[in-house]
Chain A
Amino acid sequence: MLSSSILPRRVWLLIGYAVSAAALFSAPLYLNDFRLNLLAKCLAFAIVALGLDLLWGYTGILSLGHGVFFGLGAYAMAMHLKLVSSGSRIPDFMDWMGLTKLPWFWELFKSFAFAALMGIAIPAGLALLLGFFTFRNRIRGVYFTILTQALVIITVTLFVGQQAYTGGTNGLTGYTKMFGYSLKSDTAKTMVYLATVVALILAFLLCRYLVKSRFGKVLRAIRDGENRTRFLGYDPSSYQMAAFAVSAGLAGVAGMLFVLHVGIISPTMMAIVPSIEMVLLVAIGGRGTLVGAVIGAVIMTQAKSELSASYPDFWLFFLGALFIVVTVFLPGGIVGLIRQLRQTIIRRRSTNEIKLNSVVPEGNGVV
C-alpha cells in the first residue's frame, strides 16, 4: 500500500537520520551560545531517554531511579573537574568541612580516563547489583519501581549527609579547566557540544543494534510475557539485569556530559522529580521506539526551558497535565500518534482503491 512513495521506507529513514545528524553537527554554525547550550542539554537527556526506553519500552521495566545513575555519572566527572580546577589544593568545600587531606577515593579521580570509566562503571555496577537482588527473586513490575524510588531517596540523603565528601546540598561546582583548557571558551563549548552529538549517535546505534539483535527480541518477549519466556528456556533475570545495566550506563554517560554543559551537579538533580521527568521524556516521545525517546527528550527539554523560565507556576500545572494526558490518551506518545495518523491515511487510501477496483469488474461481470 506504500507503493505510492517512490523510495522504500528504509531509504527514507536513512535520509532522515543523515539529515538530522548533519543538522546536529552543523548546529554551532547557526545557533547562538545560549541555544547551543540548551540543545546540548537536550541531547544529553536524549541519551538517558534512550537508555530508559531500552528498559521500559522494550523490556517493560519502569525505573524511577535513573536520576541516581545520571547523578553518579555526573558526580564522577564533576570530581575530576573539581580536582583539576583546584590544582594542588584540596577542593574548597572539603576545606570548609575541616578535611585536611584528600580522601583516597578522590585521589583516583585525578585521572580523566579513570573518571570517565567510573562515570559509566559505577552506575552500571550499581544497577547490576540492584538487578541481581531483585530480578533473580522475580521482584518486578510495581515492586521493582518502588524499590528504585527508594534507591533515589537513600542516595540523595547519603549525598546530602556526607557533606565532607560530596559537597552536600550545594553539590560540586566551580570548575574552570579541563585538559588545561578553559571551559568557558567558545572552542571548549563547541567541542563539548560535538562530543555530545557523537555520544548520542553512538548511544543510538548501540541501542538500535541491541534492539534489532536476538537480545532485543528476548527483551520484548520478557515485556510481553515473562513467564512464557521463562518456559521457553530463557532466564529472564539475566536479560533484565543486562538491560538495566546498559540503561544505567547510558544515564551515567549523559550525566557526565550534563556536568560539562551546566557546570554544576547537586543532589536535587538526582532526586525523585528529575527521575520521573526522565520517564516522561520517553512517555511523551513514545515508548518502544528509539526515535521517540530522542524526540521526546528534545521537545520536552526545550519546552521546559521556555515555559519554566517565563511561567514558573504555570509550568508545574502544565507538566502535571502532560503526565495525565499522555498516559490516558496517548500511550504511544508522539511517535504512536504519527503512526496512528499514517495508518488512518493508508486505510482510507486503500478503501478508496478497493472501491475503485471493485466497482469496475462488477459492472463488467453483470454485462
Chain B
Amino acid sequence: MEIWVSQFFNGLSVSSILLLIALGLAITFGLMKVINMSHGEFIMIGAYGAYMTQQIFKSTLPKSLFDAYFPVAILVSFVIAFAIGYLLEVTLIRFLYGRPLDSLLATWGVGLMLQQLARSIFGAPNVAVSSPSWLDGGLTVFSGVVLPYKRLFIIALVALCLFAMYLYIYRSNAGRRMRAVMQNREMAACLGISTRRVDSFTFAIGSGIAGIAGCALTLIGPIGPSIGTYYIVDAFMVVVLGGVGKLVGTVAGALGIGVFNTLFEWWTDASLGKVLVFLCIVAFLQWKPMGMFAVRTRSLD
C-alpha cells in the first residue's frame, strides 16, 4: 500500500512537470500549427533564470533574505522566457505559419543555437541551484509514506499555472480571441481580431510557461544546457495523446504518460518502461487517432 501511494505520487509529480511543458506546446501547435522544437530550450532558459536569480541574491542581498529568492525566480524565469519567446515569434516563427514540418526543422536550429549559447555563457557542466530551506523535508501522510515538500510545491505551482491558464483561455477576452483564431483563423480575422497579435502573444505565453517549468526543475536536480531535450519528446507525446486544442486533453495526456511511465519503470526497469509506454500510446492511437480530446472538425485536411 505504502509503495503504491508513493509511486502514484511520484507519477503525479512527473505528470505535473510534463503538463507545464506540454501546455505551451499544445497551444502553439493548436493555434499556429507550428511545432516548436526549441520549446525545450525555453525550459533551459527558465532554469538558468532561476540560477541567475539565486546568484544575484547570494552576492548582493543579506543571507536572511536568501530563502525568498524562489518566488522571485519563478517570476524572473517567466519574464525572460516570455520575452525571448516573443522575440523569436516576431523574428522567425511568423514566416513559418502553415508549414509544420518546416517549422520543426527551423526551431530545432534555434534550439541548437540557444543550447550552444548557454554553453558559452554558463559553461558545459551542470550547475546546481540550492533550493530554499522551507522546501526541505516532507509531509508524513502515514508511516512509511513521506511526500517531499519540493514535489508538493511543484504540484501546487502547476495547479496554480493551470488555473491561471484556464482563466486566461476560457474567461478572458484575450483567451476568447485566442480560441476564435484557433477554430477559424480567417473568420476571426474578418471579425476584426488581430491574428498577428494573438499569435505572438500566445507563443510568448507558451514560452513563459516553459520557463516556469524550467524554474520548477531546478528543485529536482542540477541544470545544464541540454536539460530541455530530456523532456521535449515526452511533452510532444502528451500533446499527441491528449489531442490538440483543449486544455483537458493536455491534462489527461500528461497524467496518463506521467503515471504510467512511473508505474512501468517501477514494475520493469527504466528502459523497458519507456518501451511499454510507447507501445501503449501507439495502441491507444489505433483507437483514437486524433488523441483523447480532439476538437471536432468537418474539414478534410
A-side residues, CB < 8 A to B, are 62, 130, 133-134, 137-139, 141-143, 145-147, 149-154, 157-158, 160-162, 226-227, 272, 276, 279-280, 283, 313, 316-317, 319-324, 326-328, 331
Q: Is the CB of A141 within 8 A of B101?
A: yes
Residues of B in contact (CB 8 Å), total: 44
| Contact A157-B271, Cβ < 8 Å, known A137-B289, A272-B233, A322-B109 | yes
CA distance A157 to B234 in the complex (A): 13
| Chain B residues within 8 Å of A150, by CB | 233, 236-237, 278, 281
Q: Is the CB of A161 within 8 A of B110?
A: no
CA distance A272 to B281 in the complex (A): 19
Q: Is the CB of B271 within 8 A of A331?
A: no
Specify which of B119, B271, B275 lies most central, judged by the most chain A CB atoms within 10 Å of its CB: B271
B36 to chain A, nearest CB (A): 11
| Contact A160-B120, Cβ < 8 Å, known A154-B278, A227-B301 | no
CA distance A102 to B270 in the complex (A): 24
Q: Is the CB of A158 within 8 A of B275?
A: yes
Q: Is the interface of B mostly helix, strand, loop or mixed?
A: helix
Extra pairs beyond A150-B237, A327-B99, A328-B96 (18, CB < 8 Å) = A133-B286, A134-B282, A134-B285, A137-B286, A146-B236, A147-B281, A153-B274, A154-B275, A154-B278, A157-B275, A158-B272, A161-B269, A161-B270, A161-B272, A313-B119, A320-B110, A324-B109, A327-B96
| Chain B residues within 8 Å of A320, by CB | 108-113, 116
Q: Is the CB of A328 within 8 A of B240?
A: no
| Chain A residues within 8 Å of B106, by CB | 323-324, 327-328
| Chain B residues within 8 Å of A280, by CB | 105
CA distance A314 to B240 in the complex (A): 35
B138 at the interface (CB under 8 A from A): no
Residue of chain A at shortest CB distance from B102? A327
Residue of chain A at shortest CB distance from B109? A323
| Contact A323-B271, Cβ < 8 Å, known A134-B285, A139-B285 | no
B220-255 vs A, CB cutoff 8 Å, 1 = contact: the mask equals 000000000100011011011000000000000000
